[in-house]
Structure 1
């Protein structure tokens, strides 16, 4: 089996991703469970099964919701200037990182919900989200001038699509193992846990950058 550096693989695969605004039309099978609203704030600290989902999928959803709430608290009331701020030539802005989170989630939607193979991404997704997926110089040049609602809408729309698709599936699907995944046999549970872990990683970066914003010194 070929080995692949995990960090390099994630960076390369993210070039094909991101979640979008109003581009999604939910189609396909009727949900197995009625789709609930996002977990209520007072329920965020209860990790476990959630109404509307199979037990393990609900547990996964509770983790995704908790991590998203932590991110949103960090960026609350940030100005366009805060979101666009770039610390140095190798840094990404907070706005770009938020869009990158949506990109990663969209990537895993395409792969796990639609069964697309590597490189077989819709042209619309590639055109709309490749810059945010890859970050770097192009993102520093182009992802700017947007208010917080722009990024929150992208994150919200992508997450709503994930929740609707999770409600159509069961724990057997979640445990299904992909023997050909580049970093070794991996089930859908691990792939989606990585979406949560990836958000946690950028959470640390956002915290670091927020403490260095010019507005934090005022």
Structure 2
């Protein structure tokens, strides 16, 4: 059961990592730097490194990380108008996409993983 609880923390950190990466990409027009990749990389990929590194924290830690990133996102969105969402850049496979689509992807990713969390919670019998 401990592994299932850690999985919820990993998914919460994944939400934060994806959102942070899109902040850098869309608002700051840059890729994550080496230091940021050390912090967020394991949660972005959720692979073996993530399994080894995303552990040892209580739920409040993961929720705090997500709150910090989410508050930063809200501040960034206050700095732009709706026309900003139409801005197009190269995205996947050298195809163009606008910021509306990119941020939709951020929200869609979180919604998918929230479903996973719900399944895990049901297995843990947490209400």
What TM-score do the two structures reach when normalised by structure 2?
A: 0.88
**Deviations 1:38-78 (CA, angstroms, capped at 9, x unpaired):** xxxxxxxxxxxxxxxxxxxxxxxxxxxxxxxxxxxxxxxxx
Of 162, 166, 169, the match for 2:77? 166
Of 145, 153, 176, the match for 2:87? 176
* Partners of 1:139 and 1:94 in 2: CA distance: 13
Structure 1 position 190 matched with structure 2 position 101:
yes
Residue aligning to 2:40: 129
* Partners of 1:113 and 1:210 in 2: CA distance: 34
SS at 1:85 equivalent = helix
**Deviations 1:120-176 (CA, angstroms, capped at 9, x unpaired):** 422221111111111122222221221111011100100111111111111111111
Structure 1 position 142 matched with structure 2 position 53:
yes
Residue aligning to 1:101: 15
In the alignment of these two chains, the number of paired residues is 125
* Partners of 1:97 and 1:135 in 2: CA distance: 8
SS at 2:123 equivalent = coil
- Within a 5 Å distance, the mapping from 1:40-59 to structure 2 comes to none
Structure 1 position 110 matched with structure 2 position 20:
no
Between Structure 1 and Structure 2, the one with more helix by share is: 2
* Partners of 1:121 and 1:202 in 2: CA distance: 23
Q: Which runs of 5+ in 2 are unaligned?
A: none
- Within a 5 Å distance, the mapping from 1:72-91 to structure 2 comes to 84-86=2-4
* Partners of 1:94 and 1:124 in 2: CA distance: 24
SS at 1:186 equivalent = strand
* Partners of 2:49 and 2:102 in 1: CA distance: 27
Q: CA deviation at 1:107?
A: 0.8
What TM-score do the two structures reach when normalised by structure 1?
A: 0.53
What's the C-alpha RMSD, in Å, of the aligned pairs?
Answer: 1.9
Using the TM superposition, name which of 132-141 and 201-210 deviates more.
132-141
